């Protein structure tokens, strides 16, 4: 079977980009399996994702070397990924386990093609759940006095386990600017609403008190600006006057789990490109 790869790029929009990229791949005997593109009139940038396969005897480094020269000509920001490599995940969680449980099941059942290398938490509640899947659990308690040390432990874990993506699966701690910078572009958070709305404690109780008719969830990249990172995925669920706060929590938990799983899948399949503060998400 021919190994497959994924090329993603963005650059100032101009004629000849697709022609030159497809020609480069053709010259190396590669076969394009799927290609998606988008030209943004507002930013003047062009975005491209190409999934292709190549001969077994053709090293990916050879394609990379040719891409460097082409990228220089067009001012491209680009990445070339080995399609066979499974992303390694670190999942951070606190005391709400619905998103963690969903990710563990999806990874274990093959619905999500990732390897969850570790689970870490500031509480010990979900150590048995992680153990049931044979995944190492790291209890990293934190307080105002120990935050810097605890975050250093997280960074050490990311480096030691060669983590590709950190998933904040209802991890109820605000990350420091230092940790946000260390994880820039490789940390995803799930939020319980369309941002910004109903922040703080008991968001579903707040929503119930205001008589909302929809509740939602937002998955976004983590940045130093709290809950203001580029949005990857969102969804809503309709509610009505007969629902209790407990009903909203249940419905919201399902929505959060689904939105986070979709965001993780988009990331590990290299379908997300940054467009300023926004994202281009290829389906």
| Catalytic machinery residues | 227
- CB burial of 258-272 (b: ≥16 within 10 Å; e: otherwise) equals bbbbbbbbbbbbbbb
Q: State in Å, rounded, how far the first CA of the chain is from the last one.
A: 25
Angle (CA) 56-37-26 rounded to 5° is 35
**How buried is 169 (Cβ within 10 angstroms: 0-12 exposed, 13-18 middle, 19+ buried)?**
buried
**What is the distance between the alpha carbons of residues 227 and 187, in angstroms, rounded to a whole number?**
12
> What residues pair up with 10 in beta bridges, in sequence order?
47, 77
Question: Which ranges in 9-48 belong to alpha helices (H)?
Answer: 17-27
Q: Which pairs with CB-CB distance under 8 Å and at least 24 residues apart come from 276-282? A: 276/43, 277/230, 278/230, 278/231, 279/221, 279/230, 279/231, 279/232, 280/10, 280/38, 280/40, 280/47, 281/232, 281/233, 282/36, 282/38, 282/47, 282/49
**What is the distance between the alpha carbons of residues 34 and 52, in angstroms, rounded to a whole number?**
7
């Amino acid at each position: 079977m021919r190994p497959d790869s994924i090329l993603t790029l963005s650059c100032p929009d101009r004629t000849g980009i697709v022609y030159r990229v497809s020609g480069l791949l053709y010259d190396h005997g590669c076969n394009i399996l799927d290609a998606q593109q988008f030209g943004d009139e507002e930013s003047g940038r062009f975005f491209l994702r190409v999934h292709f396969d190549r001969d077994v005897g053709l090293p990916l480094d050879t394609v990379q070397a040719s891409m460097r020269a082409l990228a220089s000509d067009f001012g491209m920001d680009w990445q070339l990924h080995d399609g066979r490599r499974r992303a390694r995940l670190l999942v951070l969680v606190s005391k709400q386990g619905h998103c963690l449980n969903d990710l563990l099941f999806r990874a274990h059942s093959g619905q999500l093609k990732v390897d969850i290398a570790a689970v870490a938490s500031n509480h010990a509640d979900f150590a048995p759940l992680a153990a049931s899947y044979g995944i190492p659990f790291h209890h990293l308690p934190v307080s105002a006095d120990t935050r810097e040390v605890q975050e250093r432990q997280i960074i050490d874990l990311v480096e030691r386990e060669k983590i590709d993506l950190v998933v904040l699966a209802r991890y109820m701690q605000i990350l420091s600017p230092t940790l946000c910078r260390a994880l820039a572009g490789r940390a995803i958070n799930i939020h319980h609403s369309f941002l910004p709305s109903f922040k703080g404690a008991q968001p579903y109780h707040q929503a119930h008190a205001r008589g909302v008719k929809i509740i939602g969830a937002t998955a976004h990249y983590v940045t130093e600006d709290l809950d203001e990172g580029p949005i990857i995925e969102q969804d809503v669920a309709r509610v009505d006057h007969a629902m209790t706060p407990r009903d909203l929590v249940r419905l919201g938990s399902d929505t959060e789990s689904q939105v986070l799983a979709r965001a993780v899948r988009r990331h590990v399949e290299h379908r997300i490109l940054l467009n300023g503060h926004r994202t281009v998400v290829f389906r």
